[in-house]
Structure 1
């Protein structure tokens, strides 16, 4: 699975959809330099890729309203959302972000995975201890002892310069954002094509 996040331009959406990128991320966090409006996202109608809304500590009603207006397929939740909130939004739609660096050991990380697993379709492991899109890379050695049964996507500073080094880390997919940009929200089409070829072995 390949997800390109931080979409702000129709031409970037079109390229990713044409290539066969699986998920396209649209950020609705007001403080993000890549934030976009529900009415614009509603006009983006990829033929293959699913539209993912990215939310940071917004309440259930706001997320549900934006999802409906924007025509979102999936919801990626960053922050302190509870399992109850994930359940209310629909377990089959939720990707829950977690930050492995917050946890002292694998056991404490897996305790949260156990708590959220019934109410989300997958997890996203990001670098740092909060937020995203900052270009930092996650130390994947923290994930070496993780049970292989979890469905998780790797995020954090990924791009053509390092995707090969993590290709076989056990992730179910890869979430790319700042590593594919020339400026925040401006995707570099050559970098997207490079990463796609590196992961899929075709162009």
Structure 2
């Protein structure tokens, strides 16, 4: 596997924020990015007013979009003062470019593919049009508590820094760290219920990530 942009301690993103107290905890722990979901069917859907109230700067604010088109995404990013857009739906490279390739994290689902060849084709299709890729579990959506075999990525040539998601917790964190990802995306594994982060789980997993990376 050829990797570019990896670092000794991976970037850590905690997604599905709905409460300021969780944002403050993540900020205090040194989390690099916090994610806010703009998808009404999700129990973690965030109110724009709340997202806008989160201070700008550090950690970076990432909006997660599923069905919005490029203009809707840009409008929400402006309203909520977001740093990046995570395109978590069936958005195409043209949408990535319209939002701004330097501000896009494009999600891909390895389990959609029957072979490494077709997955590589999708990686190659999106890599020129985004800042990061993110490989998630399942075949759509996210935050569902599923994981996948990270070794499915070992044969890929990935020219972009990439994130790994999929119920990352104590049972698979070692494999996640060994995968070569530049960042880890945490959500359901650090919750007590959807949208409500568990401070102990966040502290314990963040501490372990620091120790093992």
Alignment TM-score, normalising by the size of structure 2: 0.91
Matched, 1:199 2:189: no
d(CA) in 1 for partners of 2:176, 2:101:
28
- 2:173 alignment counterpart: 163
Residue deviations 1:139-176, cap 9 Å, x none?
11211211254421110111234312321111111001
- 1:42 alignment counterpart: 52
- 2:66 alignment counterpart: 56
d(CA) in 2 for partners of 1:85, 1:191:
35
- Paired residue total: 202
Matched, 1:117 2:151: no
3-state SS of 2:209 partner:
helix
- 2:107 alignment counterpart: 97
Q: CA deviation at 1:62?
A: 1.1
- 1:131 alignment counterpart: 141
Q: CA deviation at 1:51?
A: 0.3
Q: CA deviation at 1:57?
A: 2.0
3-state SS of 2:74 partner:
helix
Q: CA deviation at 1:46?
A: 5.3
d(CA) in 2 for partners of 1:53, 1:79:
13
Bigger shift: residues 43-52 or 74-83: 43-52
Which structure has the higher relative contact order (CA within 8 Å, separation 6+)?
2
Alignment TM-score, normalising by the size of structure 1: 0.95
Q: CA deviation at 1:198?
A: 1.1
- List alignment gaps of at least 5 residues for structure 1: none
Contact 2:52 2:81 in 1 (8 A): yes
Taking only aligned residues, the RMSD between alpha carbons, in angstroms, comes to: 1.4
